[in-house]
Amino acid sequence: GAGVSQSPSNKVTEKGKDVELRCDPISGHTALYWYRQSLGQGLEFLIYFQGNSAPDKSGLPSDRFSAERTGGSVSTLTIQRTQQEDSAVYLCASSLAGQGVYEQYFGPGTRLTVT
Amino acid sequence: TQLLEQSPQFLSIQEGENLTVYCNSSSVFSSLQWYRQEPGEGPVLLVTVVTGGEVKKLKRLTFQFGDARKDSSLHITAAQPGDTGLYLCAGATGGTSYGKLTFGQGTILTVHP
């Protein structure tokens, strides 16, 4: 079956430009997450969508970052006016919702390089 | 803010050795997960522990959740080069932030043949 997919796999952009990163979750998964990972480090939570509930945006580092999820499926993370410190791997994950433990399935990530 | 401290940050061992990775917090977690990540890929879930004191085994890997659900450990017996990777622990707090995971900073394991 299809896993979580992300595009593009790599993105190089100039400082000050806007970028859009896309995530296609596993079909039927109602929860979707975005994380940021610096080289060899742990994951930094950015935003969490759960069904029709208001997203948890508590991890977004600045107002240059935003995300949306259309139709409860595909999600787009947008970074406006990119800065060099935004360079990282951006990971998307999805999970089933309901009672119990949320086991997250990750995509391969988008490596963003801001020059 | 919940924090998960993972140790050691780096581990370089020879094939056949045993090792333990620790994940500690001052916060209580409703569940804790361990992931393994290889370069260029996303993390892959290894195990979820839910009950305080729980021990789970996955072949040569043994996972333990502390009695107070604040800490966990991953023990690998007779490590092999294929075990090389970044190991991450992640805790869930439940409640209104049910799905939100707090990740440790990871342990980079290198197993030399």
pLDDT of residue A101: 66
Find which of A23, A24, A104, A110 to mutate to test the B interface (most B CBs within 10 Å of its CB).
A104
Q: Residue B92: what pLDDT?
A: 84
pLDDT of amino acid A54: 87
Enumerate residues 73 to 102 of chain A having a beta carbon within 8 A of any beta carbon in chain B: 91, 93, 95, 97, 101-102
Residue A74 pLDDT more than 60?
yes
Query: How much is the pLDDT for B30?
Result: 86
Tell whether A34 is within 8 A of chain B (Cβ): no
Judged against a pLDDT cut of 80, whether residue A64 lies above it is answered with yes
> Quick one: pLDDT at residue B10?
95
pLDDT for residue B95? 60
How many residues does the structure list for chain B?
Answer: 113
CA distance linking residue B44 with residue B36, whole number of Å: 5
Mention every residue, 6+ apart, whose C-beta is less than 8 A from residue A56: A47, A48, A50, B97, B100
Residue B2's pLDDT is what?
62
Residue in chain A closest to B98 (alpha carbons) equals A102
Per-chain mean pLDDT for chain A: 91
Rounded to a whole number of angstroms, the distance from the CA of A34 to the nearest CA of chain B is 10
Q: Are strands B10-14 and B107-112 parallel, antiparallel or unpaired?
A: parallel
**E-assigned strands of B43-84?**
44-49, 55-58, 61-65, 71-76
Nearest-neighbour CA in chain A from B44: distance (Å): 7
Per residue in A1-51, pLDDT tens? 589 999 999 999 999 999 999 999 999 888 899 999 987 678 999 999 988
Tens-binned pLDDT, residue by residue, of chain B (113 aa): 568 999 999 999 999 999 999 999 998 988 899 999 998 899 999 999 989 999 999 999 999 999 999 999 999 999 999 999 999 999 887 665 566 788 999 999 999 99
Residue pair B81/B15 in contact by the 8 Å Cβ criterion: yes
